[in-house]
Structure 1
Amino acid sequence: MELRQLRYFVAIVDHGSLSRAALVLHVAQPALTQQLRQLEDELGARLLHRSAQGVLCTDAGKVFYEHAQAILKQVADARSAVTQSTTRPSGSVTLGLPHSISGALALPLLMATREHYPEITLQLTEELSGNLSEQLRSGRINLAVLFDDGQLGAFTSTPLIEEDLMFICRAGSALDPGGASVAFADALGRTLILPAQQQGVRPRIENAAHAAGLALANVIEINSIAILKSALLADMGATLLPAAPLQDQVESGALVARPIHSPALARSVTLCASKNIPLTNAAAAVGRLVHQVARDLCERGAWRGAHLPK
């Protein structure tokens, strides 16, 4: 198996056809087809379904595509690590952000990277935290912002910020108990719109409820922040989330966010890297910048409900 075969395969999948990939790669299509056939013969599996409309990955092809991407990225990072300067880091860095974090952190980080490290190309990918963990483990991304749920032992991790969970509902909703804050037990008695069991803040909420001898009365499970926001505005339920992903609607008055007490709830946000794959100078520089930007956002109050770890 050769690196060029991996590059050819990834290009075919990315462009959706052998002919388009051949044009981009500047390789004759028969030669590209031959390399693909050799790769499939070596692996003993068909990687692509071919048709007049283009190509689609088989199940084996989907698995191989992820590994091929990871290998090619690590090769590119190895080259970059050898050639780049410690004083002027350059190259490509991929950082994974959970959906509920990107609204607060993504744009300020992109702007700071452009200002301080103009020779670094920062690529941000937005995923569910579980998907980001797998991508970080396989080397497809350099860094990831993850939530410390006690399951981050496979990574090197440093605390970033603490985010308070809030009771959030539509302004004027009958679900709103009013007052300056909401008791945790009172919040659990409402119809709640939450991520699925193993995503985002849900494990934190479930563990706190179990510790208090409480149970969630009625839960609507939605993993998408955009759909969850629409459901809140339609008054289908309330939620227990940090305010950041819903900050625009809270500031406009469309949604109301109230702190939770008895107990107060927060989640720990950490910056993680692989223990097995060294960071390039560029990735290390971006990691330091993530901490600086997060600190600045907290100190200015621009990251609503966030505070620095004690």
Structure 2
Amino acid sequence: MELRQLRYFIAIVDHGSLSRAAKVLHIVQPALTQQLQHLEEELGATLLHRSAQGMQATDAGKLFYEHAQAILKQVSDAKSAVTQSADKPSGTVALGIPQSVSGALAFPLLTAVRAAFPDIVFQLTEELTGNLTEQLKSGRLNLAILFDDGQLQNHFACTPLVEEEMMYITRADSQFACKRKSISLKKALQTPLILPSIQHGVRPGIEKVAREHGLEIEQVIDITSIAILKSALLADMGATILPAAPMLAEIERGELLAWPVSDVKLSRTVTLCASKNIPLTNAAMAVEKRVLDVTRQLCLQRVWPHTRNLMS
């Protein structure tokens, strides 16, 4: 198996066509077809099939695509580690960030990295926490922002960033709005709640605290997308329990209101993670430091609300 075969396969999947992939790769289509056949013979599996929509990956092809991307990413990182200067880092750095943190951290971080390191190709990926974990394990990501569930240290090198308070959030004029300055957990859980699905980093934490206090969520609407969750809140379908950061724009405009949960500690630890097994390039280490600097600044300036800085 050759690296070029991996690149060829990825190009076919990305472009959905042998002819388009051949054009992008600057090779003739028969040669591309031959390399694909050699790859499938070596693996003993069919990776692609023709459909009305073009060339599409089979189940085996989808799995191989993920591994191929990770392998090529690590090869690229290895080259960068040897050739780049510590004083002027360059190369590609991929950082994954959860949807519920993106609103607070993504743009300030992107701006800071581009200003400080113009030779770094900085790739920000917004995903669900579970997807980010798998991509970091496989090497497709250099770094990821994850939520510490007590198990992260078993798999990754971790740096806690902030502790983020969970808030009870409703539409400003909602029938579910709180009449006081805060709300009890029991009262909040009796409300129809719009929450991310169970595999999301927020939901297990809420359910764990509820169980510890002999409570359970009475009514829940599962919505994984932050954008759709906001729409459901604004339609007054229920309330949510989330950090304020992903709703900050709507809260500042007065469309949504947020209250603290008064009788229990309901929070999550936002953590910067890297692989224990794959070394960071100089560029990735430069971005890692910038994440810490930007996060610290956002907390000090209270731009990232309801957070406690965990960095020394």
In structure 1, distance between residues paired with 2:290 and 2:66 = 28
Q: Does the Cα contact within 8 Å between 2:189 and 2:218 map onto a contact in 1? A: yes
TM-score by length of 1: 0.98
- AA paired with 1:192? L
Q: Do structure 1's residue 112 and structure 2's residue 112 form an aligned pair?
A: yes
Paired position in structure 2 for 1:9: 9
Q: Does the Cα contact within 8 Å between 1:184 and 1:264 map onto a contact in 2? A: no
Paired position in structure 2 for 1:238: 239
Paired position in structure 1 for 2:215: 214
In structure 1, distance between residues paired with 2:256 and 2:49 = 47
After TM superposition, the structure 1 = structure 2 runs for residues 227-306 of structure 1, keeping only pairs within 5 Å, are 227-306=228-307
Aligned residues with identical type, % of pairs? 64
Q: Does the Cα contact within 8 Å between 1:112 and 1:293 map onto a contact in 2? A: yes
In structure 2, distance between residues paired with 1:232 and 1:197 = 19
In structure 2, distance between residues paired with 1:198 and 1:8 = 34
Deviations 1:226-259 (Å, cap 9, x if unpaired)? 1100000000000000000011111111111011
- AA paired with 1:288? K
Paired position in structure 2 for 1:132: 132
Shift of 1:307: 2.0
TM-score by length of 2: 0.98
Number of paired residues? Answer: 310
Paired position in structure 1 for 2:68: 68
- C-alpha RMSD of the superposition: 1.0
Shift of 1:270: 0.2
Paired position in structure 1 for 2:142: 142
Q: Does the Cα contact within 8 Å between 1:143 and 1:273 map onto a contact in 2? A: yes
Q: Does the Cα contact within 8 Å between 2:178 and 2:259 map onto a contact in 1? A: no
Structure 1 segments (4+ residues) deviating >6 Å: none
Shift of 1:184: 1.2
Q: Do structure 1's residue 48 and structure 2's residue 83 form an aligned pair?
A: no
In structure 2, distance between residues paired with 1:158 and 1:121 = 23
Deviations 1:52-75 (Å, cap 9, x if unpaired)? 642000000000000000000000
Paired position in structure 1 for 2:91: 91
Q: Does the Cα contact within 8 Å between 2:234 and 2:256 map onto a contact in 1? A: yes
Deviations 1:126-153 (Å, cap 9, x if unpaired)? 1000000000000011000000011211
Query: Matched residue of 2:87: which SS?
Result: coil
- AA paired with 1:26? H
Q: Does the Cα contact within 8 Å between 1:84 and 1:281 map onto a contact in 2? A: yes
Query: Matched residue of 1:261: which SS?
Result: coil
- AA paired with 1:159? P
Q: Does the Cα contact within 8 Å between 1:171 and 1:256 map onto a contact in 2? A: yes
Paired position in structure 2 for 1:201: 202
In structure 2, distance between residues paired with 1:18 and 1:49 = 11
Paired position in structure 1 for 2:179: 178
Query: Matched residue of 2:304: which SS?
Result: coil
After TM superposition, the structure 1 = structure 2 runs for residues 10-25 of structure 1, keeping only pairs within 5 Å, are 10-25=10-25
In structure 2, distance between residues paired with 1:227 and 1:281 = 38
Shift of 1:51: 4.1
In structure 1, distance between residues paired with 2:53 and 2:241 = 45
In structure 2, distance between residues paired with 1:238 and 1:187 = 8
Q: Does the Cα contact within 8 Å between 1:233 and 1:255 map onto a contact in 2? A: yes
Query: Matched residue of 2:261: which SS?
Result: strand
- AA paired with 2:19? S
Shift of 1:162: 1.1
In structure 2, distance between residues paired with 1:99 and 1:61 = 28
Say which is worse superposed, 67-76 or 111-120, in terms of deviation: 111-120
- AA paired with 1:141? L
Query: Matched residue of 2:118: which SS?
Result: coil
Runs of 5+ unmatched residues, structure 2? none
Q: Do structure 1's residue 28 and structure 2's residue 12 form an aligned pair?
A: no
Query: Matched residue of 1:50: which SS?
Result: strand
Q: Does the Cα contact within 8 Å between 2:48 and 2:56 map onto a contact in 1? A: yes
Q: Does the Cα contact within 8 Å between 2:171 and 2:234 map onto a contact in 1? A: yes
Shift of 1:261: 1.3
Shift of 1:4: 0.5
In structure 2, distance between residues paired with 1:296 and 1:53 = 48
